[in-house]
Amino acid sequence: MLAQTKLNPVEGRKRELRKTFLHSGTSEGNVRDYSGNLLREEDHHLQAESAGFTVQVSDGPRCSCELRRDCLDSLTMAALAGEKSGAGKEAGEGRLSWPVFLLALAAFTSSSLSALSLHQLVVLRAEVEGLKSEVWRRKEEGQGVRHRGQGENISSRRSSQEYLQQSESRPGFTAIRRRRMVPGPETLVSQPCLQLLPNHNRKMFTKEISSAIYTGLPWQAGLRRGSALEAENDRMLVREEGYYFVYSQVYYRDATFAMGHVVTRWKSHVVGGEHSFVFLFRCIQTMDPDNPYNTCYTGGIVKLDVGDYVELLIPRPSANLSLDGDSTFLGAIKLG
């Protein structure tokens, strides 16, 4: 086998052009080439085509001398230069320039952002529609509840009216209804009451009950309404039988460790060997030796008979207390 010699691309191209040039004059036989062969004496043209270009060589009207080798070399170099320039143009046309690339990137980015914005707009519209439907549903539910409430109120009013009509058919209820409907001035119902306040013009006194010494307070009527109660001998006298709310308070300024008082009922009727008095309420309050100021309040409902007495006593031989009416008092209100 023959060894194949790898040729330089420029040398190979030169050989192809030479062969083309020589083959163009072989038919005439009267023209030599650069190695001694005769060339054609008549006008002839050499055309060499390679990769998109054409080289045309004209020897003039006549060529009687041998073709020089440097002429052929120049033609070959010109052809190669044209080929390289054409290849450079094609490569330049195939390569993408930077401005075009940037414009394409900007167009792609803007289209992507537009698509994303359109998607978000569609999602927001769907959410708005959902909220609208929810609002309408709740509004309809509220109207239904309001209608049901109105219907229930109307039914309750009708039932109450029917009950009143049925009740009015009874004679006793009719008489009461008529009395209420009789026009006239309204009368205020006032409950009998009495409140005793300390009397500054007199001094406190002592009183013995069952071998125990008590301290009594001088009282005077501060507020009285009706005739059910009266103030008598530093006590309250009951003129009408019934239930009473009895209350009392004393403002102590004594350094004794404990102070207090009792509300006593003196009975108008005593049966057998029972005591003529009974303690209704007791009030005890501890005192601070460094700051001996404290109040003690008590009260409750009791039944009193005509002729009974209600009295406030302190279970001490002596006591230091305030005789101001806003802090020390005794009272009772008739309830019925």
Q: What is the dihedral of CA 173, 177, 179, 181, to 10 degrees?
A: -170
Q: Is residue 146 part of a domain?
A: no
If you average pLDDT over residues 218-241, what whole number do you get?
A: 95
**In the 3-class helix/strand/coil scheme, how is 139-203 assigned residue by residue?**
HHHHHHHHHHHHHHHHHHHHHHHHHHHHHHCCHHHHHHHHHHHCCCCCCCCCCCEEEEEECCCCC
Q: Which of 102-111, 175-184, 295-304 has the lowest mean pLDDT?
A: 175-184
Same-domain pairing of 80 and 205: no
Which of 56, 74, 94 finishes a domain? 94
Give the pair of three-digit tokens for residue 156: 């309750």
Edge-to-edge, what's the strand order for the sheet holding 242-252? 219-225, 193-198, 329-334, 242-252, 294-304
| pLDDT (0 to 100) of residue 97 | 82
Residue 146 scores a pLDDT above 70 = no
Model confidence at 61, in pLDDT bands (50, 70, 90)?
very low
Residue 198 and residue 328 in one domain: yes
Give the angle subtended at the CA of 190 by the CAs of 184 and 195, to the nearest 5°: 160
Residue 323 lies in a domain: yes
Distance of CA 147 to the CA centre of its chain: 30
90 and 212 housed in the same domain: no
In the prediction, which pLDDT does 14 show? 59
DSSP 307: T
- Evaluate if residue 252 carries a pLDDT over 90: yes
Q: Which one of 70, 94, 118 terminates a domain?
A: 94
Residue 89 within any structural domain of the chain: yes
Domain containing 50 equals: 9-94
Asked whether residue 124 is assigned to any structural domain, the reply reads: no
The answer as to whether 164 is a domain residue is: no
The answer to whether residue 332 scores a pLDDT higher than 70 is yes
pLDDT for the residue numbered 271: 86
pLDDT tens digit sequence for 167-223: 555 555 444 445 555 455 556 668 999 999 999 999 999 999 988 999 999 999 999
- On average, the pLDDT of the chain sits at 75
Residue at which a domain ends, from 56, 79, 94: 94
Stretch among 183-187, 235-239, 261-265, 294-298 having the lowest mean pLDDT? 183-187
Count the domains in the chain: 2
Q: Is the pLDDT of residue 333 over 70?
A: yes
Of the pLDDT bands very low, low, confident and very high (cuts 50, 70, 90), residue 139 is confident
Interatomic CA distance for residues 305 and 6, integer angstroms: 150
- Looking at residue 98, its pLDDT comes to 85
Check whether residue 214 and residue 323 sit in a common domain: yes
